[in-house]
Chain A
């Protein structure tokens, strides 16, 4: 491998340098000292790297590392303090030098120093490697940096450093007021400050005393001053803007100021300061003031929402987003504003209604005037307070939806569809909605009105849209069982009275409810539908097969026809499963006496039904349904549709042949029909008082039905139409009055008791043993989709169940329940 080499086994001598001790330390140092001086005075081009390195190398090898290190440090400090520093002070104090020139001079000295240090540390690389490293001392280059810090910048109580900091901060402030400043010199000086590290042992005087590793002159001396002056500037600016008392101005100006400041930071300041300064700025501009800005009466968040000022709201959101990713400040305001909006909405709805009423009044007034001028008399239509309440409910829901849509738009266009904000707004809407105890009824009424009337002739999309809106409101309702109760009532009436625009819309609504909350909620509703459908099929079968009349007449058919004076008589029965429908079985109606025509239908249908479904119990409910009767008056024959009970009155008492008794007192009618008084009252009113359907003549002619009143056929009955519908007083879907509401609530409370107890038993059956709190939580979890039970309510139910011996308390731990099978 190594040719031509003599491989004599001569004794190997150790490297000579180790042995030879003789060396003139001072002579070597003199050469190095001179070289350092030359380097510092930029005369290095004649110096030999090799020679200088060799001198330093030999000094270190001979264990003069410490001497060399200390002397070099001393030399550097002397130069910096006696020459560089004095030159700079001279500049500083000379009247012909401005700040900028001074900074440039400083930067030039700094750069020269760095260059010198690079060269000095190059020739002393062996000293660095061997002596500095092993003695855990800073490398020569860093010694140079520290020397610059101590002998120039911080010398004499931070004399030069303090001046420089003042100049640069002043520069930054002037740039804030739009003046151009030399960014290169600022960057350069700050870079220098950052290069000057601060260490504990040197900086004893520091007031904070907590100089940590990685701190430097910039962080320690410059940054605090920067923060202070920036804080003053931000505060002044914010105050100035606040005084204008305009939210829009504040937000726009602050947005602009922040942008400017950020680009300034990027331009002049190091990355370490950026987050701190931005935080300070955000605190001064946003955290401190923005909430009060949002609360400004005339030009604040509320008015921006009212005016759909999306772009301003977006700026607002962007600003808040800077300080708080949770946007608490915004959420607080939104909640408060929505509550106010809610109050206003209530008022607005009332006003609209009043307006509507007075408008209608005016119109009717006009009509009457017109009519009177033609010599006719019109009776003003009386609008019941119940009807008013219904109108109010529908308007209220509409207004609620409008308000919600407004916020939806704001959230989408200004608040970046932020989930937290959406949640907060929804929660606020929910609070407002549930704050109104009637909201569930309102919604049901709104749906009822939609399905009965307002969706007529609407396109499929419009219908779908309206129904979806209903679900939006539904989602907010906490006590879903209350809604269910109302909905069932309204649905029952629609179904029995065939008032729905179409069963598709009904089914669509139920499908949406089902999708929203699950099938347990809708099974009964669907059951009601099924009942109606089955009833229709049964009726058809009854009328066309079982009791067919006319061609192909059956025996039963013939019998019925005979009873009905040889005229066709058909029955359309609705068979309602008790548990699906909201109406209770009405025992009072059992005693009602049916006229022969109806009695025979009742009996035959019963036979028919029992033939089909053995063992089922049919209870008749004459308080529902209608009867069509052809009535012969002196002048004309009318086909009249009336409530079953009304029909019973007519057929029982006023269907006699010539010469039979044709005048009945109230008591006599009751005697004959056995209809309960309130119902009798109502129905008599509708066929003897209501102007359009005054089939009976009442003596005396008064509005109200009183005992002793006498009724007879109104032979002079006249109507423009041949077909007449008798409207039963107080029928149709109307808002409840307070007594009714209390009844409803009582029913709901009862059903809640049942449901809660069922839930408790269900849970305990599965778990056998459970702690009180766990049981409460579990029950709430199961019931929350229907209503939110109070823990005290659940506790009461538990007590009841203990009494009923479904559960018992554990003997050892009273807070534990056991299930008793």
Chain B
């Protein structure tokens, strides 16, 4: 059934990551699957037993995971071995019809969240963040971002100032200007190019002269675009085109991710400025005043095309990063900040070129003291500067290119930071990172702290995770005085909510105890008066142990005076 030359779907991926993705697909762990998808993993591969993530999710009956995989570009086709296996193996008809409804010609969105955000900057911006105008050969204008052009294309990075000079403007790249280096390309090619750099996933070749566009792509040093175009245009059927487009989209995302990563490290992290606090370390409550001199601010933003400075409290020092409003507004906190009319960002109104709807960076360079400085709502908790810097790195890498690798020792801080900034996705990634820690003692992490953080940031996943670990080694925790505190805290939470009649933590532990001893849900209490058939020794043994542990748990609760 495997068609010769069919590249997708029959490659093996034996990496650890792929193996974990497959496990997540089997378990139906949406958040984890989502995490791996956003890491850019190729979903159309197979593990060593010829299972693809889609087949696993569909035979295990996780419809939501199947849907997610399909939406993110998993290929299902009855004509292929994998496709037919997924369809015939589907656990129920609902999944089967879902699989059948996903024809390959159907448009899927294989782009990653960061790519969608970038596309939206161009297609439907929420506020003015562009700083350049691109005047197309047919007279239309596009509003673009200097940092996007320069990060995506080496050509623009090296030549953007020349292009502006040729256009005789400080913010308009005029392709119609006399002597403009990239003359002679059609407007539709330019449009396609801009769409591509903004990661718009359509890749619609109708109305495009491929040769002209390929030439333009080469001129601006986007060889990947050129080769993709040739590949797409060579496909004969719509289905084949769709298949290749799907692959190109994924590639486009990964290439862009690489470029943005380089940009973040070269233009943001490396340029970060660490300055000693003038009044020594503050305890967070004292109001920080923006004290960075104009000249330094100017120097900071000059080369990265940035329009806002992120200040991070390191304890002894402040770190300043040149960042981009367009990108950090992925955080709902920053988005609200930028769209509100408080003093923080009023400078942008002054810098806006009224009729064009772009920001004039020259304004900031001429009046560097007005360059807005924003900071994080919560200062990093750690006094170790290196770790604080690392935390900012995690944040920026996530915002710019969806990097979700969170070292275990920073996972808790990341979680709190993400919560305060309203970045749900990063919060989930951090929570996953915490659950993936093998040994909390070795990492020096207190389970109780994890529980507290999960309460604070409202992460159900973590709450149950902790309950599970406790239930697995209940006697040890029962003897821990800190455990009593945490049970009390859990009970207090109930009073605050008034909505629940049981202590959540206890209920969760009980649930996992039952799992641990394989106790049926309806037979949790061992009743000695019932003399039924002799069950397997093992079972009554298990029941006994279950009851033992449960009793001691209730005893503790009773001791705390928390039994109703």
Which residues of A come within 8 Å of B, CB atoms? 1-2, 4-18, 23-24, 44-54, 57, 61, 63, 118-119, 122-123, 125-126, 129-130, 134-135
Contact of A119 among B342, B382, B452 (CB under 8 A): B342
- B381 near A16 (CB under 8 angstroms)? yes
Which residues of B from 371 to 386 have beta carbons under 8 Å from A?
374-375, 377-378, 381-382, 384, 386
Query: Chain B residues with Cβ under 8 A from A17's Cβ?
Result: 378, 381, 416
A-B contact pairs, 30 of them (CB 8 A): A1-B403, A5-B387, A7-B409, A9-B444, A10-B409, A11-B444, A12-B409, A12-B412, A14-B381, A14-B446, A15-B453, A16-B381, A17-B416, A45-B341, A45-B343, A47-B342, A48-B342, A48-B344, A49-B336, A50-B344, A53-B333, A57-B378, A57-B420, A61-B456, A122-B336, A122-B340, A122-B342, A125-B332, A125-B333, A130-B458
Assembled-state Cα–Cα distance A45/B349 (Å): 12
**Residue from A7, A18, A53, A118 within 8 A of B407 (CB atoms):** A7
Task: Name A45's closest neighbour in chain B (CB-CB).
Answer: B343
Chain B residue at minimal CB-CB distance from A24: B285
Report B279-295 residues with CB < 8 Å from chain A CB: 285, 287
**A126-B420, A134-B497 as given contacts; A2 in contact with B393, CB under 8 Å:** yes
- CA A7 to CA B393, docked complex, whole Å: 14
The reply to whether B340 and A49 contact each other, CB–CB distance below 8 Å, is: yes
A-side contacts of B413, CB under 8 Å: 15
> Nearest-CB distance from A711 to chain B (Å)?
101
Minimum Cβ distance to chain A for residue B513 (Å): 26
Roughly how many angstroms separate A135 CA and B405 CA in the complex, as a whole number?
34
Q: Sorted from nearest, which 7 A-B pairs have the closest CB atoms?
A: A11-B444, A14-B449, A16-B381, A49-B342, A6-B386, A5-B390, A15-B416
Any chain A CB within 8 A of the CB of B422? yes
Q: Which residues of A contact B444 (CB under 8 A)?
A: 9-12
Query: Among B343, B378, B449, which residue has its beta carbon within 8 angstroms of that of A46?
Result: B343
Query: Which chain B residue has the least Cβ–Cβ distance from A61?
Result: B456
A51-B287, A57-B378, A63-B496 given; A18·B456 CB < 8 A: yes
Instruction: With CB as the reference atom, state the residue of chain B lying closest to A9.
Output: B444
A440 to chain B, nearest CB (A): 62
B227 CB-CB contact with A under 8 Å: no
Q: Which among A10, A49, A126 has the highest number of chain B CB atoms within 10 Å?
A: A49
Asked if residues A5 and B393 are in contact (CB atoms below 8 Å), the reply is yes
Question: Are B390 and A119 in touch, CB under 8 angstroms?
Answer: no
Q: Mark B381-403, 1 if CB is under 8 A from A, else 0.
A: 11010110110011000000001
A7, A11, A50, A63: the one within 8 Å of B337 (CB): A50
A46–B346 Cα gap in the complex (Å)? 9
* Contact between chains at B377 and A135 (CB < 8 Å): no
B535 close to chain A: CB less than 8 A = no
Find out whether the CB atom of A18 lies under 8 angstroms from the CB atom of B390. no
For A48, list chain B residues within 8 Å (CB).
Answer: 342-344
A130–B390 Cα distance when bound, in Å, is 27
Distance in angstroms from A136 CB to nearest chain B CB is: 8
Q: How far is the CA of A16 from the CA of B412 in the complex (A)?
A: 11
Q: Which residues of B contact A47 (CB under 8 A)?
A: 342-343
Nearest B residue (CB) for A130: B458
Q: Complex Cα distance A595/B343, Å?
A: 135
A135–B497 contact, CB under 8 A?
yes
Q: Determine if B497 and A49 form an interchain contact, defined as CB atoms under 8 angstroms apart.
A: no
Given contacts A9-B409, A17-B381, A52-B342, 19 further A-B contacts (CB under 8 A): A2-B393, A5-B387, A7-B409, A13-B382, A14-B446, A15-B413, A15-B416, A18-B449, A44-B341, A44-B342, A45-B343, A48-B344, A49-B336, A57-B378, A118-B340, A122-B340, A125-B333, A125-B422, A126-B420
Residues of B within 8 A of A54 (CB): 377-378
Q: Are A2 and B394 in contact (CB under 8 A)?
A: yes
Tell me the bound Cα distance from A23 to B340 in angstroms.
27
> How far apart are A6's CB and chain B's nearest CB, in angstroms?
4
Flag if B405 contacts A50 (CB, 8 Å).
Answer: no
Which one of B340, B387, B394, B443 contacts A6 once the chains associate, using CB atoms below 8 Å?
Answer: B387
Alpha-carbon distance between A17 and B417 when the two chains are bound, in angstroms? 11
Query: In chain B, what residue has the closest Cβ to A126?
Result: B420
Q: Using known A-B contacts A9-B444, A51-B287, A129-B422, determine if residue A14 contacts B452 with beta carbons closer than 8 Å.
A: yes
B165 at the interface (CB under 8 A from A): no
Is B445 in contact with chain A by the CB < 8 A criterion? Answer: yes
Secondary structure dominating the interface of B: helix
CA distance A119 to B422 in the complex (A): 17
Query: Do the beta carbons of B452 and A18 come within 8 Å of each other?
Result: yes
Interface-central residue, A15, A16, A52, A123, by most chain B CB under 10 Å:
A15
Q: Are B337 and A1 in contact, CB atoms less than 8 angstroms apart?
A: no
Cα(A61)–Cα(B378), bound, Å: 11
- Which one, B377, B449, B453, contacts A57 given CB within 8 A? B377
* Contact across chains for B336 and A125 when beta carbons are under 8 A apart: yes
- Which residue of chain A has its CB nearest to the CB of B408? A12
Select which of B346, B381, B390, B446 is within 8 A of A45 by beta carbon. B346
Closest Cβ neighbor of B440 among chain A residues:
A12
Q: Are A15 and B336 in contact (CB under 8 A)?
A: no
Residue of B nearest to A27 (CB): B285
* Chain A residues, CB < 8 A from B416: 15, 17
Neighbouring A residues of B390 by C-beta, 8 Å: 2, 5
- How many whole Å from A61's CB to the nearest CB in chain B? 7
Most chain A CB within 10 A, of B403, B405, B413, is at B413
* A residues less than 8 Å from B393 (CB atoms): 2, 5
List A contacts of B345 (CB < 8 A): 49
- CB <8 Å contact, B453 and A14: yes
How far apart are the CA atoms of A485 and B207 in the complex, in Å? 77
Q: How far is the CB of B482 from chain A (nearest CB, A)?
A: 12
Contact B340 A119 (CB under 8 A): yes
Given contacts A14-B446, A61-B456, A129-B422, contact A50 B374 (CB under 8 A): yes
Q: How far is the CB of A116 from chain B (nearest CB, A)?
A: 11
Q: CA A12 – CA B415 in complex, angstroms?
A: 14
Which chain B residue shows the least CB distance to A11?
A: B444
Q: Which chain B residue lies CB-closest to A49?
A: B342
**Please, which residues of chain B bring their CB within 8 A of the CB of A135?**
497
Contacts of A12 in B (CB 8 A): 409, 412, 443-445
Which chain A residue shows the least CB distance to B265? Answer: A3
Chain B residues near A13 (CB-CB < 8 A):
381-382
A51→B409 CA distance, assembly (Å): 29
Chain B residue nearest in CB terms to A35? B342
Q: Which residues of chain A are near B381, meaning CB under 8 Å? A: 13-17
The complex places the Cα of A135 from the Cα of B496 at a distance, in Å, of: 9
With a cutoff of 8 Å between Cβ atoms, the chain A residues found around residue B333 in the complex are 53, 125
Among residues of A, the one whose C-beta sits closest to the C-beta of B415 is A15
C-alpha spacing A10/B453, complex, angstroms: 19
Q: Mark B466-488, 1 if CB is under 8 A from A, else 0.
A: 00000000000000000000000
Shortest Cβ gap from A780 to chain B (Å): 48
Chain A neighbourhood of B337, CB < 8 A? 49-50, 53, 122
Q: Tell me the residues in window 182-234 of chain B with beta carbons closer than 8 Å to chain A beta carbons.
A: none
Distance of A11 Cα from B452 Cα, bound (Å): 17
What residue in chain B is nearest A17 (Cβ atoms)?
B378
Give A57 to B375 CA distance when docked, in angstroms: 14
The chain A residue sitting closest to B496, CB to CB, is: A63
Q: In the complex, which residues of chain A have a beta carbon less than 8 angstroms from the beta carbon of B412?
A: 12, 14-15
| Chain B CB within 10 A, most for which of A2, A6, A9, A51 | A2
What distance in Å separates the Cβ of B240 from its nearest Cβ neighbour in chain A?
Answer: 36
Give, as a whole number of angstroms, the nearest-CB distance from A129 to chain B: 7
Q: Which residues of B contact A44 (CB under 8 A)?
A: 341-343
B388 shortest CB reach to chain A, Å = 10
**In the bound complex, CA of A15 to CA of B454 (Å):** 12
**Closest approach, in angstroms, between the C-beta of B415 and any C-beta of chain A?**
8
Query: Across the interface, do B384 and A6 meet the contact criterion of CB distance under 8 Å?
Result: yes
Task: Please indicate the chain B residues that have their CB under 8 angstroms from the CB of A23 in the complex.
Answer: 285
Q: Bound complex: CA of A202 vs CA of B557, how far in Å?
A: 40
B446 neighbours in A (Cβ, 8 Å) = 14
Q: How far is the CB of A353 from chain B (nearest CB, A)?
A: 76
